[in-house]
Amino acid sequence: MTGKSPNRHCCDGEPPLENNTQLTADYVVRSHLNRGDVLDVYSVYSRQRATLCTAKLLRPSRAHDEQELHQLLTEGGLLTTFSHPHLVRGYEVIHGPTGPAVIMETLSGATLSRLVLDNGHISDPDVAVLADQLTALLHYLHGQGVLHLDLKPSNIIATGGIARVIDLNLAHPIGTRAVTAGTFEYKAPEQITGAELTPATDVWGFGGVLYRAITGRRPFTRINQERSPSEPPDWDPLDATHSPLASLVRACFSLTPADRPTVEEARRELGEQMPCSQGR
């Protein structure tokens, strides 16, 4: 959650909350930051904390969608329970006249997707540090019995060399089936088919993040956003970089989940290929 400028592409017949709207007695809207298919994100001022926070609410048109409401409240519960250096901090879940909202810390910095757009790609040493931090978070989440299921560059903010994941909206327990939601460019084959989801599912998303950071390109591109679960990424852009992490990325994209490295194996390989990434 960044301090970026308000979203100017929200005038779709469903305006966001106006500035100065009271969410509760403590929180007042300062600006609208972003609109997704389901959620609105706002910068809000907390009188209790005397600082800006970030609030995530359902879009007005989704306010009575029980499934989306359950997902938002589940994310709020996870963010306010979990604590990790590479995960955004959740403060509380509030219930006011505008509906439930998840209140989080406000992070400065840029998303990984923005950094890639601005710089073309990320250097191998910086990618190695990023990979080490993301695998540390995945190790923690999986240890809590939770899969992320939507790891992607736009869900990662980098500040001062520290990566923070800002979204747990699609998180589900390990072993979940028939969850096909996700971002088509980064979701694993088993997410496409609705098969059982395991830690290997997040390893695929992790590989997608590394692919984008190393090459500056998305692992899959489709105008119609359709993709076969048996389709591998385009390897040419990755091979052209001669990155020492290319073999790890290839392994993360194994079509069979059992053939992908575990998070712990990925961390060991990172230490072997790029020792500078390991701060342990």
**Mean pLDDT per 10-residue interval, the chain, length 280 residues:** 42 84 97 94 98 97 92 97 98 96 96 96 96 98 97 94 95 85 89 94 98 96 75 94 96 98 96 65
Distance CA 252, CA 229 (A): 14
Intrachain domains 27-104 and 110-277 with the same fold:
no
Q: Please, which residues have CB within 8 angstroms of residue 258's CB and are 6 or more apart in sequence?
A: 200
Check residue 275 and give its pLDDT. Answer: 64
Check residue 201 and give its pLDDT. Answer: 97
Domain residue ranges of the chain, discontinuous segments joined by +: 27-104, 110-277
Check residue 11 and give its pLDDT. Answer: 47
Check residue 208 and give its pLDDT. Answer: 97
Distance CA 195, CA 122 (A): 33
Check residue 8 and give its pLDDT. Answer: 40
CATH superfamily ID and name for 27-104: Phosphorylase Kinase; domain 1 (3.30.200.20)
Map residue 39 onto helix, strand or coil: strand
Check residue 278 and give its pLDDT. Answer: 56
Check residue 228 and give its pLDDT. Answer: 87
CATH superfamily ID and name for 110-277: Transferase(Phosphotransferase) domain 1 (1.10.510.10)
Q: Fill in the amino acid letter for 209.
A: V
Check residue 78 and give its pLDDT. Answer: 98
Backbone angles phi, psi at 188, to 5 degrees: -75, 160
List, as one string, the DSSP characters of 28-68. Answer: EEEEEEEE-SSEEEEEEEETTTTEEEEEEEE-GGGTT-HHH
A 10 A CB-CB count for 229 gives 13
Check residue 182 and give its pLDDT. Answer: 82
Check residue 280 and give its pLDDT. Answer: 46
The answer to whether the beta carbons of residues 84 and 65 sit under 8 Å apart is no
